[in-house]
Amino acid sequence: MYYILCMANILPKDKQIAVISMLAEGSSIRAVERITGVNRNTIMNLGVRVGQGCAKIMDAKMRDLTCHVLQFDEIWGFIGKKEKHRMINDDPTLGDVWTFCAIDAETKLVPAFRVGKRDRVTANTFVSDVASRLKNRPQISSDGMRAYVEAVENAFGMNVDFGMIIKSYGIDKGEHHQERRYSAPEVTSMEKMAIVGHPEMDLISTSHIERLNGTTRLHMRRLTRLTYAFSKKFENFEAAAALHFAYYNFVRSHGSLKMTPAMRAGIEKSFWTVGDLVEAAS
């Protein structure tokens, strides 16, 4: 293990940039190993080290933000094994894991994320973290997860306009059922509710965060559906999420913005390179 950690530290900078670039774009560890010739253990340790550094970057940069229209959602994954295969004496971090994230619908910035179980504890921690980073009264939208009601009230009190959008989905049947097995089912009805304050009903939506979830699944290999590339440890999953969101905020040009979300939000004046990200995370 000492040898592996040392290798991650002395790996030439161009190799580190190549490895992190491929991980951030959704390549698996074994694919990166085949292409770069870098040992998979070195790749994994470098990814964890840079990912943990990215978490610190996000924590430092995402302060005193002005986010007018926020959307919340959670994206499912698993660590080690799926929840249905967990044993009573297994590590409690194994099984289903959810990545809570927020997006500003105007700047497309992701101000915060939180990895954990889909419960009130994680929801409260996540929403409190978001609230600590804002300097304005936001409008927030979420799906119908009841834990958000308590979490938003605890974090914002009455200084928020919060609404929920509850969607009902149909059941796929017939000859095309297998073709749609991994597609989202059809939305049959949708209800918007004001929960706290006076949210603008037209702005209660989860469209932007659902689009972000698609981007996250595409670029974070551990969340790609039907893959062998799942995390074995919680810290590896969390580091991968931090790397993804830092890359999304600071490096990757957003298609509709033609700049990074960090630039649009006024946090940065120019694009970061992957080299900049690796350097800042070191």
Does the domain made of 2-170+179-281 have the CATH classification 3.30.420.10? yes
Q: Is the dihedral of CA 42, 46, 52, 55 positive or negative?
A: negative
pTM of this structure = 0.88
Distances (CA, A) of 282 to 5, 47, 78, 129, 220: 13, 11, 28, 24, 21
The pLDDT value recorded for residue 182 is: 57
The pLDDT value recorded for residue 158 is: 94
User: pLDDT of 181-224, one tens digit each?
Assistant: 556 667 777 899 999 999 999 999 999 999 999 999 888 887 77
The pLDDT value recorded for residue 81 is: 80
How do beta strands 113-116 and 69-79 pair?
Answer: unpaired
Nearest to 72 by CA among 162, 11, 6: 162
The pLDDT value recorded for residue 162 is: 98
The pLDDT value recorded for residue 8 is: 47
The pLDDT value recorded for residue 2 is: 42
The pLDDT value recorded for residue 91 is: 78
Q: Any idea where the domains of the chain sit in the sequence?
A: 2-170+179-281
> Low-confidence residues of the chain, pLDDT below 50?
1-8, 177, 180
- Laid out side by side, the sheet with 69-79 consists of 113-116, 95-104, 69-79, 139-142, 161-169, 187-196
Encoding tokens for residue 196?
A: 């706290």
The pLDDT value recorded for residue 268 is: 96
